[in-house]
Structure 1
């Protein structure tokens, strides 16, 4: 039994070329295929790229592996493989030399700071702000679970607009469709938006990925950043200058100041200039646990050893200043440090799914387990249509431990893809 799902055109420039055609002799774009088929094709593409690299060892590995690793990592999030998704991007991070380093004075700042619960600290700061901006790494469903929890608290203090980079069309509170956006095809992101819809948030679509062939890549990127800022203003502050807005972005779009060396100006800096509003900008993409110790930022282990907390935390120095490390130093206001979440031996899923997201383990129905090979199992809310984003998904392989589905309270139907 195969679930065929649809999606709109991707709004992510990174994947436009690589997702165009899976096979020169096949005119079906990769992104229009069922998710499990996408996964298998992405695995094949990576294997082919690795073989090409073996045959041309003098070539920079990044030239061969960058696109396949990122594509595979993203698709793995869609089928519930959070570890595999992170592993793909970890490999890419090493190849592209993006792990980061320790600067002079970093360890002293880390050890002299006071740890505070991240949600409590952000909400306290947000009381006196009008705009809160939080980023994510697109391969990290963990970050979406944190965003969901933060959104609940921001809603309580009067924030009303939720602007997400991924959203490509409006959606209602009944169910979230595959066509709503690209990254929202990942179950945790969809759960975040479902939760926000139930809380009464007003949603804002602001990211337009329109390329002008007459412009250079750099000019198109500038155009994208300025459009993002203008679209957010048009949907929120233009109607109510006192509106409180929570903006959820990818990676560096939340930077308030640009790097003098690169001169790249991101959406948040444009937003400040256009509104004269100083947003509270938060990074959560630097200090979290990766799939192996050598992939972690070198400050991550010292941070969690010094401040052994069960929940995400921030580091405060003095009464008002927060410590920020890595590429976001002096470019955002606060940096979230996520605790070490392990794979739960009972569920074979990450602990954060229960600890942070509050989801409950549910057995995969016995009759859906494969007799051979692999299969993707999906859980949908009982009242949602076939084009909905699943509430959860897991990959099950015959002869191996069966991971549990992690679900909120409610009634669900199950289906599979192989």
Structure 2
């Protein structure tokens, strides 16, 4: 049965969103290749990933571009995260950092702070807010798993609108008809954990909306700083329009431009600009500053300072005696996560503790090539975002999948994009 949604002009609108992203990422390209060449190669990757739903093949194409210097390792990491291999993703994301530069940890008086469970602290700061924002690293499924918890605690206190930086204009077209995450809803939302964030939002009755700069808001013939400033202002204007049209609604924003302090020109982010446009001060939640890494040099000085005050066992915020929370400059609260354990099948333990999933070992026929095991919700459309991806190394005879309760179908993708069914699964 073909369960694909009708696409038509919706495909063109999503493609325009990807074109916008390509231009916005232009400074991350490692060479000075022409825009036409970049567009042609990214168009190929776009068709493979978002139209043909063959992520392993698309990742292989992008990998070859990275190795020849066409795209930055950090850009590639944002897409490599789709494979579920998060150890390699982290390495790629930080490969550009200097080996010998490590800022000293921030000195904290540990006794001056009380550790509060993260979702409890977020409810505390958000209770009287009109607008709550939270950031992410685009290569971090952990942040998306935690965002699923956050929208769960915000919904009962009145939040009902959910905007994400990655959402395409397709979301606005279908916001009242969405039943599951599909590949055309956004760029990063095709990653399984982001797709599941959308599932949670739909199930809880959120109305989704895009706010990224549109193709019509792009400007030509300007320098990079001006282009960035226009993007920040465009995002702010797009969110203001939603707020103005929904004066009685509470809004949750999920993206990366949420620092509230003014900067210099293009360094003044969307959150500050939005406050200037609306007079509404958002609550700004920082995940990125409190996320650990497998390598000390990748961690923020703030995280290393907090870690000196004792081991973290679950996500927390640090409350001061005056009731405010420890945070990086420009944010209201920073969330601190424990280190990740990959001892079970190479999968992160937060899939259980934060993602609410169970691990299941799945047998495979060993193959000479690397393959991608993909798990889909059984009754969702053919263009739905998978709920889990696991990269199987050559000669692997099993992989560990991570799933919540439900009924699923399993697929195995080969490097050339060929896919074959592995049958159905049920998690009770």
TM-score relative to the length of structure 2 = 0.82
Unaligned 5+ segments in structure 1 are 50-63
Comparing 114-123 with 184-193, greater Cα deviation is found at 114-123
State the distance in 1 between where 2:291 and 2:41 align: 40
SS of 1:77 mapped into structure 2 = helix
2:263 aligns with 259
State the distance in 1 between where 2:189 and 2:294 align: 23
Q: Give runs of aligned pairs for residues 327-346 of structure 1, distance below 5 A.
A: 329=329, 331-343=330-342, 345-346=343-344
SS of 2:371 mapped into structure 1 = strand
Would the alpha carbon gap of residues 15 and 256 (structure 1) be closer, same or farther in structure 2, given more than 3 Å must change?
A: closer
Answering whether residue 78 of structure 2 is matched by residue 74 of structure 1, we say yes
2:184 aligns with 179
State the distance in 2 between where 1:26 and 1:321 align: 48
Deviation at 1:84, TM superposition (A): 1.5
Answering whether residue 91 of structure 2 is matched by residue 90 of structure 1, we say no
Q: 1:362 is matched with which residue: 352, 360, 363?
A: 360
Answering whether residue 226 of structure 2 is matched by residue 219 of structure 1, we say yes
1:312-359 CA-to-partner distances (Å, cap 9, x unmatched) read 11122222222224xxx2x1111111111210x233200001110101
Unaligned 5+ segments in structure 2 are 49-53, 415-428
Deviation at 1:114, TM superposition (A): 2.1
State the distance in 1 between where 2:41 and 2:118 align: 48
Deviation at 1:30, TM superposition (A): 2.0
Would the alpha carbon gap of residues 94 and 290 (structure 1) be closer, same or farther in structure 2, given more than 3 Å must change?
A: farther
SS of 2:115 mapped into structure 1 = strand
Deviation at 1:156, TM superposition (A): 0.9
Aligned residue-pair number? 384
1:225-265 CA-to-partner distances (Å, cap 9, x unmatched) read 12212211222x21332321111012xx10111235x6621
TM-score relative to the length of structure 1 = 0.83
Would the alpha carbon gap of residues 129 and 36 (structure 1) be closer, same or farther in structure 2, given more than 3 Å must change?
A: same
Would the alpha carbon gap of residues 289 and 400 (structure 1) be closer, same or farther in structure 2, given more than 3 Å must change?
A: farther
Would the alpha carbon gap of residues 394 and 16 (structure 1) be closer, same or farther in structure 2, given more than 3 Å must change?
A: farther
1:197-218 CA-to-partner distances (Å, cap 9, x unmatched) read 0000011111124332133322
Answering whether residue 148 of structure 2 is matched by residue 148 of structure 1, we say yes
1:250-287 CA-to-partner distances (Å, cap 9, x unmatched) read 2xx10111235x66211111111111111111111122
Would the alpha carbon gap of residues 190 and 301 (structure 1) be closer, same or farther in structure 2, given more than 3 Å must change?
A: same
1:368-395 CA-to-partner distances (Å, cap 9, x unmatched) read 5442111011111111222111011111
State the distance in 2 between where 1:393 and 1:21 align: 32
Deviation at 1:309, TM superposition (A): 3.4
2:47 aligns with 32
Q: 2:229, 2:266 within 8 Å by CA — same for their partners in 1?
A: no
Deviation at 1:141, TM superposition (A): 0.4
Q: 1:101 is matched with which residue: 103, 126, 142?
A: 103
State the distance in 2 between where 1:214 and 1:22 align: 19
